[in-house]
Amino acid sequence: MNILISGGSGFLGSALTDCLIQQGMTVTWLTRDTSQSHPKNVQMLSYEQLANDNHNHNQNYDVIINLAGAGIADSRWTEKRKQQLMDSRLKPTQAILDFIVRSEYKPKLLISGSAIGWYGIQGDTPLTEDSSAKPDFAHSLCEKWEQLAMSATQKGVAVAIVRTGVVIDSQGGMLAKLLTPFKLGLGGKLGDGQQIISWIGRDDWVRAVQFIIECHIDSQNQVMIYNLTAPNPISNHTFTKAVGSWLNRPTWFTLPRFLLKLLFGEMATLLIDGQKVLPQALLQAGFGFEYPTIDTLLASQDK
């Protein structure tokens, strides 16, 4: 099976690539810089090459996995940054759609990234794929990204939207950033600590994407939406205590809500406002989580 991945060198894309290659699949990374470091058995494809008609006639992909996008929590949400976040998602998606339109051999499935930010801030209300959203910037960003990807169905390509929660793994992402301060005894809750974290282990995220491929590789012209979150979301306070216990360190500190807003501006909503997002579609389809609780996940991680 030939698979094209945008964002393949990222925290999620690289782990997914390793597993797909281990399963004997051929993986190509779609990238703006084909000279970047990459596994030797990964092929590289530039966006310019993707737009080249000669390439379009000579290559076909069974699955395209669209993960490209600047990190939403990497810097303050100025108006310029908001536009960068939007462009970094919509432009690669549009390039993929243009390729699909021109291609004689269409992919069987497009898996396109999104985030649980689609639901907006809804506190501890349980949210499934059937839930409605509350408008804010994160929702608008995800909604435009999803709607653009869904247009691939007009060309007969099945689309799976994956709304990813907070990905937990000691090799990257939020947990990796927290290790040093927690090890120094500086760990603590954010705000009142009651905000819900809808999380997923990176290994389970990779397994879920593979599961979606297996389930929908032969789907016909339809849209599927999946929440990629573990079945047991937790409060920030519970998460803080779990990490402290795992590292055998105290967690006495608190970063007040007003200070987080001062430091991060509008982006502070990612830290102090929670969402209780549940993986209803995955569970109904029969997916089994290897790490359904935060304690089982942390026990599997390197410190």
* pLDDT tens for each residue of 193-228: 999 999 999 999 999 999 999 999 988 779 999 999
Query: What is the length of the chain?
Result: 303
Q: How far apart are the first and last CA of the chain?
A: 36
Domain contains 27: yes
In a domain, 284, yes or no: yes
* pTM for the whole structure: 0.95
* CA–CA dist 8, 29 (Å, integer): 6
pLDDT attached to residue 196: 97
Per-residue tokens: 64 = 């395209």
In percent, the amount of the chain with pLDDT more than 90 equals 83
Q: Range with the lowest mean pLDDT among 44-48, 126-130, 204-208?
A: 44-48
Query: Is 302 a member of any domain?
Result: no
174 part of a folded domain: no
Whether 243 maps to a domain, the answer reads no
CATH number for the domain spanning 209: value is: 3.40.50.720
The range of the structural domain enclosing residue 21 comes to 2-167+200-229+276-289
| pLDDT confidence of residue 143 | 98
Q: Is residue 298 part of a domain?
A: no
Residue 31 pairs in a beta bridge with: 46
Look at residue 12 and tell me if it is in a domain. Answer: yes
Q: What is the 3-state secondary structure (H, E, C) of 169-209?
A: ECCEHHHHHHHHHHHCCCCEEECCCCCEECEEEHHHHHHHH
Least confident of 23-27, 112-116, 222-226, 268-272: 268-272
At residue 135, the 3 state secondary structure works out as coil
**Alpha-carbon distance 267 to 77, whole Å?**
6
Residue 192 falls inside a structural domain: no
Residue 44 pLDDT > 90: yes
Count of domains observed in the chain: 1
